[in-house]
Structure 1
Amino acid sequence: MTIELPTREIGLPIPNISHAVSVSLPTWEATVGYEENQEWVVNKMNSGYPRFFIHERIKELSLLLEQKYGRQGEKSFIFPSYKVAKRCRNFIKEQSENKNLKCSSIRILQLSTKAPQNKNEESVIVETNIAVLFFPEDEYKYAKQYWQHSGEGISSRQGEYCLRELSLEFSKEEEAIFGQEEEKDKDKDNDNDNQEENKFIEERFGRNLDLSFAKEANSILRKRISAQINEIIESEKKFSKNIEVKDEEFISENEVYLYSSGMASIFHAHQAILNCYPQGKSICFGFPYVDTLSILRKFGPGVLFYGFGDDKSLDEMEDKLDKGEIKIMALFCECPSNPLLKMPDLKRIKKLAKKHDFLVVADETVGNFLNIHILSFVDICVSSLTKIFSGDSNVMAGSLVLNPAGDNYLRLKKYFEENYENNFWCEDCIYLERNSRNFKERNFNMNKNAESIVELLKEDELIKEIYYPNLVESKRYYEEFRTYSGGYGGLVSIIFKKSEDAKKFFNEVELFKGPSLGTNFSLACPYSILAHYQELDEIEKWGVDRNLVRISIGLEDKEELISRFERALEITRKVSATK
């Protein structure tokens, strides 16, 4: 893959398409400006990471529905089902009550788009339901928190589809009343122009969608995930003595559940445990991605945070469990963690879980199931399919996989059979199926590219520390779960000796810069600034440097990628020497 010249424009989507997952924050200063809500940055933000930035089509749909159905002083959020909207309503009420505020009326309106009328329409029309949550404007922040933490909001493609369909429907209602035929023809012409433009773009990139294939795509995705996990299990049985696996650990597509985002899969793992087991606090083991901790803090009885996620933390946890000082229902961890790439001692955690009767949920987004096989040692394995499984950075998705050989399997399976809602939007499903066809090849190449960059960085005098699974102290635990053909992933975090060197390097390195990881193109961000700007002192207590630079290595030509890193390091070195 030839390396692209990254955009230097603030706020442009990455890649430059309407449903991109990442957004350009090309300098350290722009990232700070974004976090501080400075006008020179936020006024240029035409896009953003979907759980944090409401897509323009979704905003338009909300405005349309507020104008048609809203009351004075109300705002709205749109969800893919009544159950999701109800959970958001309950969250808003709980947050208001916790602040001793009077919770005003919150309404849920259910709407449907039309169903296809014949076979021909099935390729372009799908009946879909949405639930619109109306609430007083002063409770907007709580609704937005639910949208961000749970990852359950409608996707930008679903918003775009519903906007088009409902706009047409509402226009017809008005035309029937006012007889505005001229406006109808004008709108029809505009709609045709937009459809032709979209059709051209789709066909130009071989991405024309046939919505009638959505159910098939959903099944293919679940079979693909289960088949690839089973291939790993089979290869470990044949070629490796590293990971002990049993025949009952083979999974079917029925153990795989798809969600509209990685956070939604974590959220529903937590919801399942809350509903299936006696409620108690959870443990967050290791410093996690920010919203994982938010879910554990804000939903249910709360969380005990063991932020270092090391052997000493495990000793302390075990001691308190043995003495009865704490009783927990679940332990959540990342394998390895983002951004410090630490791997927990899962084998010891599993023994403790069995002894003290709690569940283990592991997020393997960063490691991914081709590089590490952890399912045997957890009850639930979750992942953001938005990342390397997709690679194209144009669709949000998540997966939740049950361990069929786990002690808690039957109870969890019963819960999901009775409560799982497939809210994964059909167009997103089709995109993800296409994107993930070459997942194994891309994973192999990303591993190799990342290892080459790590070797380069290891030799540079500017750098104080590199976080990568085969360099950190917990390497031995990663190796216990690394598959026969697996590597160490594409994520690298680096700390410079001087904070100014970190900023200079970041500004100079010719890579795309913005949130997300696992993209086919390399992507960098000043992670602590972007994810924890309001708590930089706090995260440093857990070993996360405020000037940490996180880089997700992509599929570019290795030599050209190395050259770009060398150039940025050389410029940084020269500037640093003059200070």
Structure 2
Amino acid sequence: MPISQAIGAPIPNNTDHAVSVTLPTWEATVGYEEGQDWVVNKMHSGYPRFFVHSKVKELSRLLELNYAKDNEKSMIFPTYEVAKRCREFIKSKTLLPNCSIRILQLSTAPPKTDEEKSFKVETQIAVVFFPGSEFSLAKAYWQHTGEGVSSRLGEYVLNELGEKLEATASKERKMTKQNSNRSSSGRNSRSSISSLQNNQEYSTFIEERFGRNLDLRFAKEAKSILRHRIATTHSAELSDDDVYLCSSGMTAIFTAHHLLLNTMESKDLKSVCFGFPYVDTLNILKKWGAGVHFYGFGDDDSLDDLEKRLEGGERILSLFCECPSNPLLKTPDLIRIKKLGDKYNFVVVVDDTVGNMTNLNVLPYTDIVTSSLTKVFSGDSNVMGGSLVLNPKSNFYAKFKEYLDENFEDLLWAQDAIYLERNSRDFEARSKKINHNAIEVLKFFEKSPLLEQVYYPSTMSSKNHYDALKKADGGYGGLMSIVFKDQADAVCFFNNVKLSKGPSLGTNFTLICPYSILAHYQELDEIEQWGVDRNLVRLSIGLEPTQELLETLKEALDSSVEQHNV
């Protein structure tokens, strides 16, 4: 795969719905986090929960031209229930007195013929209009929950409604005799609609040319296959009906927490975040419900402390953890945690994305398993998705099952489901290849005198906890973090390595980022108290020929050695 080093280029290259984005140097990553124009102005793509896709932005712009009141902005969601949650979140956080927030629902036309059913489906969106000053709150909801419209859904609705919205907006502009600048904007809008149609025709051509034409009639079947694939990968005894598909991995985590807040008598109790997690898991537990106890080390001593608190009479709603954690690759003692959960009546929710369901069997030691299907399960870095799985042997199963069967909304857009199904057909084979490559990369890094530490599940003191969960034919996954003895070496290595550089993980190609800078730039001092070095570099190992990958890494490490000799 050609590797772009252009700031803001999608990863993979020339991918309309890419999940990752190129930040090719350490300096560019810092510039992005600081909002520097030389980086931000080139960001035409981004991770979907942080960066609103251009098609979704265009749809928002047209909706605002047609329906917004003075100074209102908009955020688009797939259903009215999600839009209501966003409205409730903004109202709970805003400092504005009498903050007016409106919701508009729109539908696309249903197919009229059997032929149209292959490319047309009736769908709805819910648009939240709010004062422009509160955009950051709406964007926070979008980011934390992952419940915003997917880029493909936004594109579909724009294709269906864009011309009508543009025509209505143009007519309104003429009637109100708005200034020439806005008229010019209107001309640009018509051009963008025309461009959009041309792009759509090109995309359709590519799909048909390579035998991957999307037939929307198969969306329901694709979702059924996905649920079965996930169920059987977890356990031969798991029912497909206990698998719930979500629009992203973070949506699965948010759905799990929302489930607890609506079913548990102890919903007014705090939850526990066990281990240093991905940032938005902690945000969800902080911003919804009674709050969170944060055990950032996630080790056996932390678990001793939690057990003492529970023995002393303190109660908790739930314990959320990653298995293993991102980016430190620590594995919690799930067996002991589940025993504590059963004894003290709290819910255990485990995100197994990093270890992934082909390597680990976490289900017996959890009540709920969440996974990001965006990562290794898909691999192609061109679609978002997630899953929530109920453990049928959980003490809470009947309660959770009843609630979800009555209230769960399937937010996974039809086209995204079709892509996920196709991408994941060779999921297990790809996972094994990634496991193999990662072990070889680990051996290579362990020989380097430049490195202070290599984080990988098999090198951690928690390896015994990982091995207790590892399937007989499983491995240790593809995620690895390294810390250099000298920051200058870390910067030199990252800037010179000829690999894709950007956010996300689990891609079929090796993906690398200065993780602490990218995910925690505003809190570098704080994360170091939890053992996360500010100069940590994270690698998600891919499917490249092993020797080729090792040579690429060696070349970059050699550049760091050479700088010492200059």
Normalised to the residue count of structure 2, the TM-score between the two structures is 0.94
225, 250, 257: which one aligns with 1:270? 257
Using the TM superposition, give the Cα deviation of residue 172 of structure 1 relative to its aligned residue in structure 2, in angstroms.
Answer: 7.3
Residue correspondences, number: 547
Indicate how the Cα distance of structure 1 residues 188 and 284 shifts in structure 2: closer, same or farther if over 3 A, else same. closer
Say whether 1:14 aligns with 2:11. Answer: yes
Aligned to 2:103: 108
| Unaligned residue ranges in structure 1 (runs of 5+) | 179-184, 232-249
Say whether 1:124 aligns with 2:119. Answer: yes
1:202–1:208 Cα contact (<8 Å) kept = yes
Q: Percent identity, please.
A: 58
Query: Which secondary structure does the structure 2 equivalent of 1:373 belong to?
Result: coil
Say whether 1:209 aligns with 2:197. Answer: no
Aligned to 2:239: 252
The residue identity in structure 2 corresponding to 1:208 is N
Aligned to 2:388: 400
Using the TM superposition, give the Cα deviation of residue 230 of structure 1 relative to its aligned residue in structure 2, in angstroms.
Answer: 2.4
Aligned to 2:150: 155
Using the TM superposition, give the Cα deviation of residue 205 of structure 1 relative to its aligned residue in structure 2, in angstroms.
Answer: 3.6
The residue identity in structure 2 corresponding to 1:72 is D
Using the TM superposition, give the Cα deviation of residue 199 of structure 1 relative to its aligned residue in structure 2, in angstroms.
Answer: 1.6
Query: CA offsets per residue over residues 323-360 of structure 1, 9 Å max, x none?
Result: 11x31010000000000000000111111111111000
2:32–2:39 Cα contact (<8 Å) kept = yes
The residue identity in structure 2 corresponding to 1:27 is T
Using the TM superposition, give the Cα deviation of residue 101 of structure 1 relative to its aligned residue in structure 2, in angstroms.
Answer: 3.6
RMSD: 1.8
Using the TM superposition, give the Cα deviation of residue 500 of structure 1 relative to its aligned residue in structure 2, in angstroms.
Answer: 0.8
Aligned to 1:225: 230
Cα distance in 2 between the residues matched to 1:53 and 1:350: 37
40, 44, 49: which one aligns with 1:46? 44
347, 350, 353: which one aligns with 2:341? 353
1:342–1:472 Cα contact (<8 Å) kept = yes
Cα distance in 2 between the residues matched to 1:570 and 1:472: 26
Indicate how the Cα distance of structure 1 residues 109 and 498 shifts in structure 2: closer, same or farther if over 3 A, else same. same
Cα distance in 1 between the residues matched to 2:518 and 2:168: 45
Cα distance in 2 between the residues matched to 1:481 and 1:13: 36
Using the TM superposition, give the Cα deviation of residue 168 of structure 1 relative to its aligned residue in structure 2, in angstroms.
Answer: 3.4
Cα distance in 1 between the residues matched to 2:193 and 2:559: 55
Indicate how the Cα distance of structure 1 residues 552 and 533 shifts in structure 2: closer, same or farther if over 3 A, else same. same
Indicate how the Cα distance of structure 1 residues 86 and 224 shifts in structure 2: closer, same or farther if over 3 A, else same. same
Query: Which secondary structure does the structure 1 equivalent of 2:481 belong to?
Result: strand
Cα distance in 1 between the residues matched to 2:196 and 2:478: 42
Say whether 1:23 aligns with 2:21. Answer: yes
Aligned to 1:92: 90
Cα distance in 2 between the residues matched to 1:33 and 1:156: 25
Cα distance in 1 between the residues matched to 2:417 and 2:398: 28
Query: Which secondary structure does the structure 1 equivalent of 2:377 belong to?
Result: coil
Query: CA offsets per residue over residues 108-131 of structure 1, 9 Å max, x none?
Result: 001000000110100011000000
Using the TM superposition, give the Cα deviation of residue 6 of structure 1 relative to its aligned residue in structure 2, in angstroms.
Answer: 1.9
Indicate how the Cα distance of structure 1 residues 419 and 528 shifts in structure 2: closer, same or farther if over 3 A, else same. same
Query: CA offsets per residue over residues 364-388 of structure 1, 9 Å max, x none?
Result: 0000111010100000000000000
Aligned to 1:304: 293
Aligned to 2:79: 81
Using the TM superposition, give the Cα deviation of residue 193 of structure 1 relative to its aligned residue in structure 2, in angstroms.
Answer: 4.0
368-377 or 202-211: which moved more?
202-211
Using the TM superposition, give the Cα deviation of residue 174 of structure 1 relative to its aligned residue in structure 2, in angstroms.
Answer: 8.5
Aligned to 2:280: 291
Indicate how the Cα distance of structure 1 residues 406 and 8 shifts in structure 2: closer, same or farther if over 3 A, else same. same
Cα distance in 2 between the residues matched to 1:186 and 1:574: 51
Cα distance in 1 between the residues matched to 2:191 and 2:280: 45
The residue identity in structure 1 corresponding to 2:295 is Y
Query: CA offsets per residue over residues 527-569 of structure 1, 9 Å max, x none?
Result: 0000000000000000000000000000001110010011111
1:5–1:510 Cα contact (<8 Å) kept = no
Normalised to the residue count of structure 1, the TM-score between the two structures is 0.92
Using the TM superposition, give the Cα deviation of residue 192 of structure 1 relative to its aligned residue in structure 2, in angstroms.
Answer: 6.2
The residue identity in structure 2 corresponding to 1:197 is Y
Using the TM superposition, give the Cα deviation of residue 141 of structure 1 relative to its aligned residue in structure 2, in angstroms.
Answer: 0.7
Query: Which secondary structure does the structure 1 equivalent of 2:111 belong to?
Result: coil
Cα distance in 1 between the residues matched to 2:339 and 2:37: 52
Aligned to 2:161: 166
Cα distance in 2 between the residues matched to 1:573 and 1:186: 52
Cα distance in 1 between the residues matched to 2:193 and 2:351: 47
Query: CA offsets per residue over residues 77-103 of structure 1, 9 Å max, x none?
Result: 00000000000000001111xxx5414
Query: CA offsets per residue over residues 245-266 of structure 1, 9 Å max, x none?
Result: xxxxx21110000011000000
Aligned to 1:323: 312
Indicate how the Cα distance of structure 1 residues 158 and 419 shifts in structure 2: closer, same or farther if over 3 A, else same. same
Aligned to 1:441: 429
Cα distance in 2 between the residues matched to 1:538 and 1:196: 49
Indicate how the Cα distance of structure 1 residues 293 and 175 shifts in structure 2: closer, same or farther if over 3 A, else same. closer
| Unaligned residue ranges in structure 2 (runs of 5+) | 175-189
Using the TM superposition, give the Cα deviation of residue 169 of structure 1 relative to its aligned residue in structure 2, in angstroms.
Answer: 3.8
478, 490, 493: which one aligns with 1:505? 493
1:5–1:511 Cα contact (<8 Å) kept = no
The residue identity in structure 1 corresponding to 2:293 is L
Indicate how the Cα distance of structure 1 residues 123 and 101 shifts in structure 2: closer, same or farther if over 3 A, else same. same
